[in-house]
Amino acid sequence: MTNLRSEYSPKQVATSLQVSESSIKRWCDQGVIPTVRTVGGHRRITLSGLRQFLRSTNRTLADPQVLGIDDLELSVASKPAVRHPPVRGEGREPAQQAFRAALAVGDEDRCLQLLEERLSLGWTRAEAAEDLIADALRGQGDAWGCGELAVYQERRSCTICARLIQVLRAGLDNLPAAAPVAIGAAPESDPYQIPTALVELVLRESGWNAINLGNDVPLDSLAEAVIDYSPKLVWLSVTSVVDPERLIREQNKLADSLDDQVSMIVGGRALDDSLRPKLRYTAYCDSLRHLIELAAILKRQD
């Protein structure tokens, strides 16, 4: 007969799951794994808390014997009838919640329907994208950071959102030949494509001939594009930074190479208070709504 313990240490659970102990502790502190504390302040994971975590994330124990759990108990603990990905996000409106839920299960048609409903109510494409796509992806990013999403779920969501942005972009009116040019990208080692694609959508709807050069773009190559395109605006969307000092050095070099008539706009979740003051730029945007306002001002000045 199995001798079940009532509580387990993060190290024991990490060994059983074959993940790092630091990941287990982080998930405990973030509330992903229900956790209790000993009198001395040490984390302890109960069997019921472990079962809840396994069900919500569809994980299985690689070595259940470490915890004294046999195959029968493991099957009860970790196998859900239906896999329901977690749905995170800050937006509280029903449409936002519905969009996040649809994106979590890969229901692209429902996501598109919700975007079109926003447009039918008079929302701009940029406003709808900010309200639904950006909100959902922030929630998915938080879930990804907590280990709640499988790789395919995160990739599927990004692929769906990329297609939705293209649908929104295709519905824009043709730009006049004299529209001011804007170019931008996500820097080298930044794997995220969606944020810089959203910037392109916002700028094009604001009357800019915006050209998204993609993600993982070396900044010296972006400087070459400045020479080729002669833009009035250059943007940099920074969602992930591997080498902060390198980014600072190369971004400042790019900013210094621009003519005085060229605006440099930066934004992105990775530009925190410790990094942003070290960069050179015309303006920092902390949201798409901020970018919409700034794009209109800069265009009037052109």
Instruction: For residue range 264-286, list pLDDT tens digits in order.
Output: 999 999 999 999 999 999 999 98
Q: Who wins on pLDDT, 156 or 92?
A: 156
CATH of the domain at 156: 1.10.1240.10
pLDDT category of residue 79 using cuts at 50, 70 and 90: very low
Is 110 in the same domain as 194? no
The whole-number pLDDT of residue 36 equals 86
Is 160 in the same domain as 219? no
Is 67 in the same domain as 140? no
The whole-number pLDDT of residue 80 equals 44
Domain assignment present for 17: yes
Q: What is the DSSP code string of the chain?
A: -----SEE-HHHHHHHHTS-HHHHHHHHHTTSS--EE-TT--EEEEHHHHHHHHHHHT---S-GGGGT--HHHHHHHH--SS-------S--SHHHHHHHHHHHTT-HHHHHHHHHHHHHTT--HHHHIIIIIIHHHHHHHHHHHTT-S-HHHHHHHHHHHHHHHHHHHHTSPPPPTTPPEEEEEPBTT----HHHHHHHHHHHHTT-EEEE--SSB-HHHHHHHHHHH--SEEEEE-S--S-HHHHHHHHHHHHHHS-TTSEEEEE-TT--TTTGGGS--SEEESSHHHHHHHHHHHHHH-
Is residue 18 classed exposed, middle or buried when 0-12, 13-18 and 19+ CB atoms within 10 A define those classes? exposed
Is 194 in the same domain as 260? yes
Q: Which residues contact 158 (CB under 8 A, 6 or more apart)?
A: 137, 192, 193, 194
Is 226 in the same domain as 270? yes
Mean pLDDT within 222-241: 96
pLDDT category of residue 216 using cuts at 50, 70 and 90: very high
**Of the ranges 18-32, 34-48, 99-113, 231-245, which is most confident?**
231-245
Is 185 in the same domain as 295? yes
Domain closes at, from 170, 204, 231: 170
Domain closes at, from 107, 138, 170: 170
Domain assignment present for 87: no
Of the candidates 99, 149, 291, the residue with the CA atom closest to the CA atom of residue 208: 291
Q: Which residues contact 290 (CB under 8 A, 6 or more apart)?
A: none
Would the pLDDT of 295 be above 90? no
The whole-number pLDDT of residue 302 equals 64
Is 191 in the same domain as 294? yes
Domain assignment present for 274: yes
Q: How far out from the chain centre does Cα 107 lie?
A: 19
- Which residue type is seen at 225? A
Would the pLDDT of 89 be above 90? no
How do residues 192-204 score in pLDDT, each as one tens digit?
A: 999 999 999 999 9
Domain assignment present for 60: yes
CATH of the domain at 244: 3.40.50.280
- The answer to whether the CB of 199 falls within 8 A of the CB of 210 is yes
pTM of the model: 0.70
- The answer to whether the CB of 241 falls within 8 A of the CB of 190 is yes
pLDDT category of residue 234 using cuts at 50, 70 and 90: very high
Of the candidates 95, 103, 291, 111, the residue with the CA atom closest to the CA atom of residue 201: 291
Is 270 in the same domain as 294? yes
Torsion, Cα 153 158 164 166, to 10 degrees, reads -150
Q: How many residues does the chain have?
A: 302
Domain closes at, from 107, 136, 170: 170
pLDDT category of residue 112 using cuts at 50, 70 and 90: very high
Domain assignment present for 47: yes
How do residues 26-40 score in pLDDT, each as one tens digit?
A: 888 877 788 888 888
Q: What is the mean pLDDT of the chain?
A: 86
Mean pLDDT within 245-271: 96
Domain assignment present for 223: yes
Is 152 in the same domain as 196? no
Is 152 in the same domain as 201? no
Q: Who wins on pLDDT, 188 or 47?
A: 188
Is 164 in the same domain as 193? no
Would the pLDDT of 75 be above 60? no
Q: What percent of the chain has a predicted confidence (pLDDT) above 70?
A: 87
Domain assignment present for 2: no
CATH of the domain at 32: 1.10.10
CA–CA separation, 22 and 275 (whole Å): 25
Would the pLDDT of 62 be above 50? yes
Q: What percent of the chain has a predicted confidence (pLDDT) above 90?
A: 53
Is 33 in the same domain as 141? no
Domain range for 199 is 181-301
Would the pLDDT of 254 be above 90? yes
- Which residue type is seen at 129? A
- Total domain count, the chain: 3
- The answer to whether the CB of 232 falls within 8 A of the CB of 302 is yes
Q: Who wins on pLDDT, 66 or 269?
A: 269
The whole-number pLDDT of residue 71 equals 47
Would the pLDDT of 83 be above 80? no
